[in-house]
A = this chain, B = another copy of it.
Amino acid sequence: MSRPKVVVARNLGPDVMPLFNRSDLDVVAWHSETEACGRKWLLENIVGASGVLVMLADKVAGPKLRIVSTMSVGYEHVDLQQLTDRGVRLGYTPDVLTDAVADLSIMLALMAGRNSRETMSVWPSYPWSPFAFCGPQLSANWLHPTRTAGFIGFGRIAQATLARLVPFGFTHCLYTGNPASAPTPERDATLARTLGVESVRRVALAELARESDVVFVLAPGAPSLRHVVDAAFLRGMKKTAVLVNTARGTLVDSDALALALREGWLWGAGIDVVEGEPHVGADHPLVKEPRCVVLPHIGSATTETRLGMATMAAKNLISGVLGDTMPAELSITR
């Protein structure tokens, strides 16, 4: 029996690629770590392949394909219906990036309140004054002894972010969930008790906007959630609140956010994702807003986490193609 062919659409570096040095697989790997393989190379090489390892931007199909392994926690680049119809199994990389994204969410919440874009560029000519560069304080303080965090989407990353906020004096947590799912008041009460906050409550979007001192967008990039943060939501926020999006750009209406920042509906924003990325120019309305920190989708970009994701994606591919249990396989239920 011939060895199954697998295609690896990116060089995953010297720590991960040796995993593919095995005699039971026929491995075709793209040579470069920094450059994408391109659609043409991928379509040429996918012919006859049983499995493929792809990045978030790659779209692929092949008649013999049985395993797709994506180096990402999101899978909106994958046509799940087609996978189900063809019996293709999907490996992905959940969990391993939770902490890196939660770290970045905290960083952006702080940067959005502390006027980072302005303050990072003021030396050499800085006239100190008592209220220069002052923005709202993230942590609890003498004027605001309670703090409320709002989460649009309340999965693992959101809960890891909430845990980090507790010693900042956060006392209340609001979140929105899939309306079709049953409420979980007992889980919420347990979580509140475990973390040491006064309450964790699922609420409607309008209440979340109205009550939160910081709103974290941490939902999956599903079509039904497109622009869940729209003009109406932003108008409902506190003028001193900040918005953080470390999930998917499509969840936030960019034009509405730019207008909201310009008109002071909220204080500031920190976003790691932008609708339409990577086609984000210097003239993008959010890149131009001084109160908006825009990062280039680096939520999971720490050495340790990306190494973990690449390793997991490689193991998913190898295990899947050889018919073994994948370390992380998506169970497709639709």
Contact = CB atoms under 8 A, between A and B. Distances in A.
Interface of A: 10, 12-13, 33-36, 55-57, 71, 96, 99-100, 102-104, 106-107, 110-111, 113-117, 119-120, 122-124, 126-144, 160, 163-164, 166-169, 240, 274, 277-282, 284, 287, 293-298, 301-310
13 contacts: A12-B130, A13-B130, A33-B131, A99-B137, A99-B141, A100-B141, A107-B110, A119-B295, A119-B298, A120-B293, A124-B281, A126-B280, A141-B302
B119 A296 contact: yes
Nearest to A127: B34
A103 B139 contact: yes
A293 B293 CA distance: 15
A167 B102 CA distance: 11
B278 A126 contact: yes
A304 B144 contact: yes
Given A110-B103, A168-B103, A282-B123, A304 B143 contact: yes
| Dominant secondary structure of chain A at its interface with chain B | loop
Contacts of A10: 129-130
Most chain B CB within 10 A, of A13, A115, A129, is at: A129
B33 A130 contact: yes
Contact of A131 (B13, B124, B166, B284): B13
Contact of A130 (B55, B100, B124, B294): B55
A137 B33 contact: no
A239 to B, nearest CB: 11
Nearest to A100: B137
Contacts of A310: 130
B119 A114 contact: no
Contacts of A296: 119, 122-123, 126, 133
B303 A131 contact: yes
A36 B126 CA distance: 12
A104 B135 CA distance: 12
The 7 A-B residue pairs whose C-beta atoms are closest, nearest first, are: A137-B302, A107-B110, A124-B281, A141-B304, A163-B167, A99-B139, A34-B129
Contacts of A142: 96, 304, 308
Given A103-B138, A137-B304, 14 more contacts: A12-B130, A13-B131, A35-B129, A55-B128, A56-B128, A57-B128, A99-B169, A103-B137, A107-B116, A115-B298, A122-B296, A126-B277, A141-B304, A167-B167
